[in-house]
Structure 1
Amino acid sequence: MISSPSLRQWRYLVSLAENRHFGKAAEACFVTQSTLSAGIQELETQLDAALVDRTKRKVVLTPLGEELAGRARELLGQAEDMVLLARAAAVPLSGPLRLGVIPTISPFLLPRVLPSLRKRFPDLRLFLREDLTARLIEQLQNGKLDLLLIALPYEGGALDTMTLFDDDFLLACRNDHPLAKRNAVKLDDLADAQLLLLEDGHCLRDHALAACRLPPSSRRDGFAATSLHTLVQMVDSGLGVTLLPQLALDAGILRGTDVAARPLQGDDVARHIGLAWRRGTQRAKEFTLFGEALVAALRQSEGRQPDASSPAKKA
């Protein structure tokens, strides 16, 4: 029978791969540097292979070390999943849940649903991380996050997704803009408008362009914003028009401005809000329950009762 390294040894290797420094890797594992160094040496002895090239200035993993660190990261994630799965069997959605959320969703949705979620799942310890979609997916795949709340569609590799609801886009323009006089705006009406968008990297930018039937490379005089609030201020200053999601409008993002919102005419002029998790995780049922509870909490905040025709669905 092959003598397998311990999870502790694999954790040391993963930490070293992430920190590239024995001291920092040891701190991340809450052990001394000598303990971590001895653990790595034991691992190399057991495997009869060199995993780390040690120099005075930096730590470099060998090609084999890099390969094994990646697989060890998956192994540690699966081991943690099994522990949490056992806990969830007794009490669903209890214990820690590391949720990544994009900034065009987090401030507009979470304040509306978190009170209900806390009440329904009092033992849930929800840790939130706000970042751009690409970085959140990387952290999810690396095991640093358990679940993502993002806008779909998004090419994220080996992920399972669950669509929760559609978030319609509306045109935002100053009250004195010609388009503000219309009850609804056609997409063709935006052809000559100065369309303001978020910076590259924000998935809402791509979704807004797709809603307007414009290519992802479209730019309008280089104007771009880092947040939806900045976009609103640019529109309020008369620099152009923009597309805002209904979530942000419901949260009062236009309050105190001279900006009006008008519906857009067209098919699928919306982004789709959903959850994403690592394919194959043993916590899929738990994440599905979380998604259903989130939709129910949102409907409750709108004064509507959840029903069997809830838009939440697994993709």
Structure 2
Amino acid sequence: MRILVTGGAGFIGSEYVRRRLESDPTARITVLDKLTYSGVEANLAPVSEHSGYTLVRGDICEPDVVDQVMTGQDAVVHFAAESHVDRSIYGAGPFVRSNVMGTQVLLDAARRHGVGRFVHVSTDEVYGSISEGSWTEGWPLAPNSPYSASKAGSDLLALAYHRTHGLDVVVTRCTNNYGPYQFPEKAIPLFITNLIDGNTVPLYGDGRNIRDWLHVSDHCQGIELVLKGGRAGEVYHIGGGTELSNHKLTGLLLDAVGAGWDRVEYVADRKGHDLRYSLDDSKIREQLGYAPQVSFTEGLAATVAWYRAHRSWWEPLKERAELR
């Protein structure tokens, strides 16, 4: 199978590419990535010599570039997105451009070239916040940040291309990911690397916001199941099954690196900060056989160990992005 993977040099995209190429010697993957601040070519170094791997540096918003790489593809797995909520609060333009316009350019090209399947990777944040219970796939979208609003727009656009044009589109929505190669602006790698360096970590508000945590390898397992067996026009939730408050997560990270609560700096809460996300993922479990394989205890320990062992990867990224 020939697959175009957008954003394949990012955290989740590169995990998908490494996983697919390492498990399938016949796979042919073209990565399209703009290689902006969070797209790191070194993330793909483990598969750079694979005969089926091609990297194209380009922008999903450029029709000519997308048209060239779409030629001959059997499927698209679309990860490329601006994804950091804090950045979207201070400037929404890049999020609308990449997440909505970029998705539109890809969908048009996929339709022209007769691509067999288009997997659009999205987020639980499109639903807003839920105080109790869990969202099902048919829940109304109610995003609260510019980031999540742009992702909701791209979801609806992708599903509209299925209904209008008959394009074989499936949408996945996941909970919070963690694992190796995650850009250190996100909570878990930011906290780990700050604590390793003896610095403080910023905890929003009182830390009561709740997230479900999903190891990136389990997320990619779910995406692969959807690519192969999902029904066109459907949405599938991919969850991790570990709900934690940010306060509880902080405590686990402090314990993991042997630090105390004196290293925690309470900061003003994020604007429009969603209290809780929770996905009902029974659909993908029952229909496609999905089940997370990595326990949070095991996954977090391995993630901390990875960042300890890969300072040469994350230190330059933090310096470049001026992360503290």
- TM-score in same-fold range (> 0.5): no
Structure number with the bigger relative contact order (C-alpha 8 A, sep ≥ 6) is 1
- Tell me the TM-score normalised to structure 2 length: 0.21
More strand by share: 1
Taking structure 1 as the reference length, the TM-score comes to 0.21
Larger-Rg structure: 1
